[in-house]
Amino acid sequence: MRTGGTGSVRCLGRAVAPPLCGSGLFWDNVKIVPADPRVEVRRSSRRRRTVSAYRDGDKTVVLVPAGLSHAEEQQWVELMLERLRTREQRRRPSDTALRTRAMELAERYLGGQVRPSSVRWVDNQNTRWGSCTPEDGSIRVSRRLSGMPGWVVDYVLVHELVHLLVPGHGPEFWKLVNRYPRSERARGYLEGVSDAPRLAAEGRQDREDGVD
């Protein structure tokens, strides 16, 4: 727990997300607990009664009054997480909308060379942002992306669309992917999300070791 001038920060749960690597977009040798995402509780002496929450990359930040008991804090965290999930579920695009978007991107950036047979959200893909099966033309996108900016989701769709045309990650693959103008920015965004837990852990270790 880190204490500041106006409150304190507590991290609940655990989330890890190493860099993108290998075939497709995925993480190696990592244990993910999707039902227990990383939650950062920030207590503030300036808050009296209000509680709020928001997503910050791959974690959830819950802002609570400093005077809450631990039991009250836990109750509010559970309530705010449920509210966020409900709100995100309402605005989450359907599989049909996701496939429609993939077709638009394929037409715009790949000249309509590829037509995926299916594009859908999946809940069991916790070590990959996206994956595809060239043999049947199917694409799967992790629901963890649903709270991220649309241009990041677009990048993952383009990445997987290109995989339906080109195996591996050679020059021809990246030449096609980079037709999407926000490719570099999206890769940086995803790498930042992936690196955030590791950097936070290193920072905590440095403080414990007395390293400035």
Higher model confidence: residue 70 or residue 154? 154
Q: How far apart are the C-alpha atoms of 103 and 112, rounded to whole Å?
A: 8
- 47 — pLDDT class (breaks 50, 70, 90): confident
Of 26-30, 81-85, 201-205, the poorest mean pLDDT is in 26-30
Q: How far apart are the C-alpha atoms of 85 and 60, rounded to whole Å?
A: 11
Q: How many CA within 13 A on the CB side of residue 150?
A: 8
pLDDT in tens, 160-182: 999 999 999 999 999 999 999 99
Assigned CATH class of 95-189: alpha beta
Q: How far apart are the C-alpha atoms of 174 and 162, rounded to whole Å?
A: 9
Q: How many CA within 13 A on the CB side of residue 96?
A: 0
In the prediction, which pLDDT does 110 show? 97
Q: How far apart are the C-alpha atoms of 91 and 200, rounded to whole Å?
A: 30
- Domain range annotation of the chain: 2-90, 95-189
